Amino acid sequence: MEQSDAQTVARRSSSSGFALFQRPNESLATSQRSGDATHRQGGLAEPRQIANVARRLVVISNRLGNIRDLSQAGGLAVGVADALAERGGLWLGASDEHQDSVASDQPLIRLERLGRIETAALILPREEYSLYYNGYANSTLWPLFHYRLDLVNHRAEFLDAYRQINARFAKALAGLLSGNDDLIWIHDYHLIPLGAELRRLGIRNRIGFFLHIPFPPPDLFAATPDHEELIGDLLQYDVVGFQTETDVANFRRSVQATNSTTFDTNGAAEANGRTVLSKCFPIGIDVDSFSRMANDAAEDVQIDSMRRQILGLKQIIGVDRLDYSKGLPGRMQAFARLLERHPEQERAATYLQIASPTREEVSAYADIRSQLEATAGAVNGKYADLAWTPIRYIHRAVARSRLAGLLRASQVGLVTPLRDGMNLVAKEYIAAQDPADPGVLVLSRFAGAAEELAESLIVNPYAVDEVADAIAKALVMPLDERIARHGALVKRIKRNDAAEWRRAFLAALAGEG
Ligand code: GDG
C-alpha cells in the first residue's frame, strides 16, 4: 500500500500547525475526504458489490489493524479491513499511545484515512487501559471463556476499569456516527458492554457483536460474579455472533438460566423491546491469497525443505501465540511420546514450533513460557544427536509469508488447543498445502475449527498417547488418502471463507440474514 495514499485527518487548531487530536463532534464528515476506493495487492480487497452496501459500516475492536500494511495481519484484521474497503467505513480501536496524566473526560482520538477507510485511534489513560486489558479482559474473561477457572483472577478494580474503558469507547463512538443508519459491528470479549453503553447514550442504530473466542457452558459462566450483567449487556445487541454451534448453545442456555429469556427456532429472542438474533458465523481465511503466499516461499525455506527431503526427514509444525489455551506443553509431550511409542520416527521426524510472544505482562503467560522451554530442553536433551534436533522451538513472531512457506513445507500440521474459538492456523495449514502432495492436519476436538474440518485427524489434546499415535498415522498416511482428505477440507474452508463470514454477519446485522 502506498504510504502517500494515507492522509492524517487533522484540523487546523486555533493556534498554529495541525492538531492531530480531534474531538469526535468536529466530525470526519466535515473533514476533507479522498475520493476513490483503494486497491491493493496482497492488502485490502478490491471493492465488490454486496448487499446493503449503502449503509456505512462502523467497526470497533480493541486494537486497530494497520491498514497501510496488512502483510503481517491475521484473520480478524484482514477480514475487517476488507469489509471496510468493500463499502467504505470507519474503524475505531484503542491507540498504542496512552494518556499519562489524569484522564480527560473528552475522548482523544487520532484520525486517519486511507482510501475509503477511516480509522479512529482512541487514546486512553495508561493505568486504566492496563487494568482493562491485562486485567479484566485477559486475566478474568480470557481464562473464564477458555474453561480455565483455575486461572481466573477476579478483582474489583479490573471490572471497574473494564466498564470505564467501554464507556469511553461509547462516548467516542457516539460522536463519530453519521446517523441512525450506520451499521455498528463490535468485536470480541474486550468490548462486551459497549452496546449497552451506546444504548445508554441513546444510540438506536443496529449494533452487532461477534465473539472470537468460545462461550463457556452455563455452570462455568456462572462462576464469574458479573455473569448477569454480561448477559444483560449481550442482550442489548441486535445480533450476537459466535464461532460454533456449541458456543451459540452455551450462550442461549446461559441467557435462559439468567433471565428466563428463550430463543425461537431461528435463534431470535425478545429483550429490551428489540429482537436479538444469536447465530453461528464461523470465521474463515482468504484461501487463494494464502495459497499463493505459501507457493511463493522464501528461498531459505525452500532450501531447508530440500535439505530435509535429502535426509528423509519429515517436518511436523505448530504455529501459535504462546498462550496456555493452545495446548503447547501437551503437544511437546505428545511428540516425545511419539518417539517412545514409534521409535522408527527417531531421526525421521522433526518438530518445528513457532510460538509468538503475547500478553507478557500477564503472569499466567510467563508460567507457560518457562514450562515450554523446560519441556523442549528435556526432549532435546534426551534425544538430540549431532545430526538431528528433535524439537526446534522459535519464540519470536515470524513474517506471514515465511509462515505460509513453512506450513507448506511441513508434512504434518499440529493444532491441538485445549480450547479455541476457531483457530485460523488450522485453515491456513490446509490452504498452504500442495494439492498434489498435501500434508495432514492433526486437530484438537476442542478447536472451533473441528466442527467444520472433520476430515482432519481429530484428537483429544488431553490424551497424549492418542495425539502421539495420530502424528504417527499422519507421518505414514498414503498419498491417495492424503489427497482425498485434503480435497474435502479445501472445499470446506473455501465455502466458509473470510468473505462469506463478513457477508453473512453483515446481512444479519442489516436485518437481511
Ligand atoms: C482469536 C481466537 C480465532 C501466529 N503466529 C504468528 C502469526 N500468527 C497468526 C496465525 C493466525 C493468527 O496469528 C492466529 O489466529 P488463531 O485463530 O490461530 O488464534 P488467536 O490469535 O487466538 O485468535 C481464535 C481468531 O481470534 C479469529 O476469530 O480463530 O480462536 O482465539 O492467522 O497465522 N502471524 C505471523 N507471525 C507469527 O509468528 N505473521
3 state DSSP class of 150: helix
**Distance, CA of 217 to CA of 219 (rounded, Å):** 6
In the numeric block, the cell 454477519 is attached to 505
431: β partners: none
Residue position matching grid coordinates 504462546: 322
Ligand 1 contact, 72 CB (< 6 A): yes
Atom in ligand 1 nearest the alpha carbon of residue 397: 38
Structure confidence at residue 13 as a pLDDT band (50, 70, 90) = very low
Task: Answer with the residue of higher pLDDT: 306 or 160.
Answer: 160
Q: Separation of 107 CA from ligand 1 center, angstroms?
A: 30
DSSP-derived pairing of the beta strands 6-8 and 108-114: antiparallel
DSSP summary character for residue 105: S
Ligand 1, atom 20, lies closest to the CA of 423
Distance CA 45, CA 203 (A): 30
Q: pLDDT tens for residues 346-359?
A: 999 999 999 988 88
Question: What is the pLDDT at residue 18?
Answer: 23
- Cα 74 to ligand 1 centre (Å): 6
Confidence of residue 106 (pLDDT cuts 50, 70, 90): confident
Radius of gyration of the chain (CA): 23
Range in 3-12, 23-32, 148-157, 191-200 the model is least confident about? 3-12
Mean pLDDT of the chain: 87
Please tell me the predicted confidence (pLDDT) of residue 39. 25
Ligand 1 atom closest to the CA of 356, numbered from 1: 38
Q: Give the model's pLDDT for residue 74.
A: 62
Q: What is the pTM of this model?
A: 0.90
Rounded-to-integer distance, Cα 334 and Cα 330, Å = 6
Q: Are 411 and 298 in contact (CB under 8 A)?
A: no
Cell numbers at residue 91, please?
474503524
How far apart CA 397 and CA 321 sit, in angstroms, is: 9
Residue 70's pLDDT band (cuts 50, 70, 90)? low
AA identity, residue 420: D
What letter does residue 43 receive in the DSSP assignment? Answer: S
Active centre residues (catalytic) = 212, 420
Cα 85 to Cα 118: distance, rounded to the nearest angstrom: 10
Whether pLDDT at 391 is above 70:
yes
Determine the distance separating the centroid of ligand 1 and the alpha carbon of 329, expressed in angstroms. Answer: 18
Q: What is the pLDDT of residue 75?
A: 61
More confident residue, 23 or 231: 231
* Range in 166-170, 288-292, 488-492 the model is least confident about: 288-292
Q: Is 109 helix (H, G, I), strand (E, B) or coil?
A: strand
pLDDT at 165: 97
**Under a CB-based contact definition with an 8 Å cutoff, are residues 42 and 28 in contact?**
no
Closest CA to 282 of 414, 449, 42, 402: 449
Spatial contact of 296 and 401, defined as CB atoms under 8 Å apart: yes
**Out of 49-53, 148-152, 442-446, 506-510, least confident range:** 49-53
Encode pLDDT of 418-450 as tens digits. 999 999 999 999 999 999 999 999 999 999 999
Residue ID of nearest Cα to ligand 1 atom 1: 212
At 513 the pLDDT is 64
275 strand-pairing partners:
270
Question: In this predicted structure, what is the pLDDT of residue 10?
Answer: 31
CB neighbour list of residue 93: distance below 8 Å, 6 or more residues apart: 60, 61, 62, 63, 64, 119, 120, 121, 122
pLDDT at 503: 93
Residue carrying the nine cell digits 517436518: 315
Mind listing the domains of the chain with CATH numbers? 1-37 (no CATH), 53-284+500-509 (3.40.50.2000), 287-495 (3.40.50.2000)
For residue 239, list its beta bridge partners.
208, 277
Amino acid (one-letter) located at 258: T
Kindly state if the Cβ of 400 falls inside 6 Å of ligand 1.
yes
- Taking residues 57-71, what's their average pLDDT? 85
Among 6-10, 153-157, 416-420, 468-472, the minimum mean pLDDT is found in 6-10
Q: Residue 91 — φ and ψ, nearest 5°?
A: -125, 120
The whole-number average pLDDT for the span 60-76 is: 77
| pLDDT at residue 72 in the model | 63
Name the pLDDT band for 41 (thresholds 50, 70, 90). very low
pLDDT at 49: 39
pLDDT at 88: 87
Q: How far is the CA of 428 from the centre of ligand 1 (A)?
A: 10
Of 199, 37, 59, the closest CA to residue 113 belongs to: 37
Q: How confident is the model at residue 7 (pLDDT cuts 50, 70, 90)?
A: very low
**81 — pLDDT class (breaks 50, 70, 90):** confident
Amino acid at 145: F
For ligand 1, is residue 212 a contact (CB within 6 Å)?
Answer: yes
HEC letters along 259-296: HCCCCCCCCEEEECCEEEEEEECCCCCCHHHHHHHHHC
Rounded Cα distance between 327 and 445, Å, is 12
Pocket test for ligand 1, best of 425, 500, 502 (most atoms within 8 A of CB): 425
Average pLDDT over residues 135-145: 97
In this structure, which residue's CA is closest to atom 39 in ligand 1?
Answer: 400
d(CA 497, CA 488): 14
CA atoms within 13 A on the CB side of 345: 26
- Bridge partners (DSSP) of residue 209 are 186, 240
Residue 3 has pLDDT above 50, yes or no: no
DSSP 454-495: TTSEEE-TT-HHHHHHHHHHHHT--HHHHHHHHHHHHHHHHH
Mean pLDDT, rounded, for 240-250: 98
Closest to 234 in 3D by CA, of 273, 263, 267, 276: 276
Nearest CA to ligand 1 atom 13: 74
Average pLDDT over residues 295-324: 87
Residue 172 CA, ligand 1 centroid: distance in Å:
28
Span 470-487, pLDDT tens digits: 999 999 999 999 999 999
Strand partners of residue 447: 420
| Ligand 1 probe mutation, 63, 291, 321, most atoms within 8 A of CB | 321
Is 60 exceeded by the pLDDT of residue 407? Answer: yes
In what side-by-side order are the strands of the sheet with 268-271?
A: 6-8, 108-114, 117-125, 89-99, 57-63, 183-187, 207-210, 239-242, 274-280, 268-271
Residue 356 Cα to ligand 1 middle (Å): 10
Ligand 1 pocket member 447 (CB < 6 A): no
Angle, alpha carbons 416-419-420 (nearest 5°) = 90
pLDDT above 90 for 79: no
